[in-house]
Amino acid sequence: MRILKHIYLYRERSRIGDCNTYYLGGKYNILVDPGNPKFIQSKIEEMEREGVDIKQVRLVINTHAHPDHSAANNFIVKLSGAKIFVHPLELRSFEFNKIIARFLNIEFSDFKSSSETPKEEGIQILHTPGHTAGSISIYLPHSKTIITGDLIFRGAVGRTDLPGGSSSDLRNSLATISKLKIAYLLPGHGEIVSGEKEVQKNFKKVKELVKF
């Protein structure tokens, strides 16, 4: 589903781990958080109906390495030859992620990530720890759009009680992104938040839950 020019959203119809996958088209051809392998084929079919060729994907970015966001990475690599980027701190958590994957009944295998942060014109990769130590957000200043992973959702924030999580880091990360000009907040799960006023309302609501 196209939500902005050159930005598409693909959902998973699942009660557990319903990861939002985002495709940045145009000059980018970047797939963010491919999600669960069980749903990747339906996502690809939806992409094809909208004229998006999965073989053109040149980069996969994970907002963090939990398997509900990253387990389909290798599937995309096999189809397109894309490179993968996840923050280096996330690479320490593979063994724990395998435990999560078994709990969620998600097929998960290790993947290779580039050690260098991607440098893409018009895209800022922000280190926003809290949900995990290596969580990132992807900010596109031109369209005032941010992809937040599991840092913040509509009316809620990500959990911090799993290994690598930190409530203080989460608060600091929320404070950082709340200062940005944001008209579209695209979370890792649930509904997007559209409009600058709605985004600010969302930050205000979240601030009542988590002081930052």
Give the model confidence (pLDDT) of 86-116 as tens digits. Answer: 999 998 887 788 888 787 788 777 787 877 8
E-assigned strands of the chain?
2-4, 7-10, 21-24, 30-32, 59-61, 83-85, 124-127, 136-140, 145-149, 152-153, 156-157, 184-187, 193-194
SS3 56: helix
What's the whole-model pTM score? 0.94
Average pLDDT over residues 22-31: 97
- Go through the domains of the chain in sequence order and give each one's CATH number: 2-209 (3.60.15.10)
The reported pLDDT for the residue numbered 190 is 95
- What crossing angle do the helices spanning 167-178 and 196-209 adopt, rounded to 10°? 160
141 has a pLDDT exceeding 80? yes
